[in-house]
Every structure is written in C-alpha cells, then in structure tokens.
Amino acid sequence: MSKTTDSIRKKFGAKGLKVYSLIDGKRNVEQIMKMAKVDEEYIIDFIGFLKNGGIIKLKHKANKTPKPKARQKPKTKRTSRKKASKRKAKAK
C-alpha cells in the first residue's frame, strides 16, 4: 500500500479506502456519499483529512443559474383598420 492509502486506512479503515477509491474527479461529493453509503458528517471529516493532507484539491463550480429568457411581448392578432371599423359597425 502507498503512504496515502496507509494513512487513510489507519484513520478511516476499510470504509475510508472505499470512499477514496470512488474519488475520480468526475463524481461529486453527494454521489460518492451515496455509493459508499456514508453520512454527511463522515464525508466532511474524510474530505477535510484529504484536503489538509494535500492529497486532493477541491474544485468549486460556480453557481451557474440559467439566464432568464428575454421577455417577449404577448402575441396579438393584428387586424387592419378597415376590418376593425367593419366589426364596430356590425356590433352597433
């Protein structure tokens, strides 16, 4: 075993090694938690241990909220003035 896996095994045991094996740079923390069946407290402690030991670097994705769509004017049916005046005349 490597120095890293030895230190993880000493502090976190087999469960820690399982969590460590799931870290691939593509999965997020929630996915790893579910796959390893660990709770939030455990994963926070584990990730903190790895980060403080210089074993991993965390990437923070910017909170990207979708841009609101441009407001569109409601579509109205256009009628010519002639048609509008004819309708008024019929209504009277």
21 lies in some domain: yes
Under 8 Å between Cβ of 18 and 8? no
| Residue type (1 letter), 65 | T
Q: Is the whole-model pTM more than 0.75?
A: no
Give residue for tokens 């402690």.
45
What does the alpha-carbon distance between residue 8 and residue 90 come to, in Å, rounded to a whole number?
A: 87
Q: Helices (DSSP H) in 25-71: which residue ranges?
A: 29-36, 40-52
78 lies in some domain: no
Position with higher pLDDT, 53 vs 62:
53
23 lies in some domain: yes
69 lies in some domain: no
Task: State yes or no: pLDDT of 87 exceeds 90.
Answer: no
What's the number of domains the chain is made of?
Answer: 1
73 lies in some domain: no
**In the chain, what is the greatest distance between 2 CA atoms, to the nearest angstrom?**
95
Task: State yes or no: pLDDT of 70 exceeds 60.
Answer: yes
Task: State yes or no: pLDDT of 44 exceeds 60.
Answer: yes
Phi, psi of 79 (to 5 degrees): -125, 150
72 lies in some domain: no
